[in-house]
Amino acid sequence: MALDQKIKTKNDLIKEVARKSGITQSHCREVFDCIFDEIKIELANQNTVLIQNFAKFEIKPDNRKFFNPKTREPVENKSTRIAVTMSPVLRDKILK
C-alpha cells in the first residue's frame, strides 16, 4: 500500500453518505448494516451476490491439495474461499 494512500473506514463512508444524502448518520448506519448483513447471509448460504457496476462476491471451493506431513497421505480439503470479481465499470474507473 502506498504511503500517501488514505484508508476509509466504515464510519468515514457513513459520514460521507449521510452528508451527501441529507439523512442522519444513525439511519445511514442502519442501512449499511442491513446491506452488509444481507451479503453475509447470502454468502453463508453459498449464494453469489452481484452488485451491478461494483463487484461479484461468490463462494468457491478451495482446490488446494493437503497432505499429512507424517504419512504423506492426502487429507480431505472441505474449505472454501470468497472470490471477489471487480466489475469492468469499476475496474475502468480505478485504472484511469
Share of the chain above pLDDT 70, in %: 96
Instruction: Tell me the pLDDT of the chain averaged across its residues.
Output: 92
pLDDT tens per residue across span 34-65: 999 999 999 999 999 999 999 999 999 888 88
Residue 65 lies in a domain: yes
Residue 33 lies in a domain: yes
Residue 77 and residue 92 in one domain: yes
Compute the distance between CA of residue 3 and CA of residue 6 in angstroms, rounded to an integer. Answer: 8
As given in the structure block, the three cell numbers for residue 8 are 476509509
Number of domains in the chain: 2
Beta-bridge partners for 82: 59
Residue 2 lies in a domain: no
Share of the chain above pLDDT 90, in %: 78
Residue 63 and residue 32 in one domain: no
Residue numbers of the domain that contains 60: 48-96
Residue 61 and residue 38 in one domain: no
Long-range contacts of 71-79 (CB under 8 A, 24+ apart): none
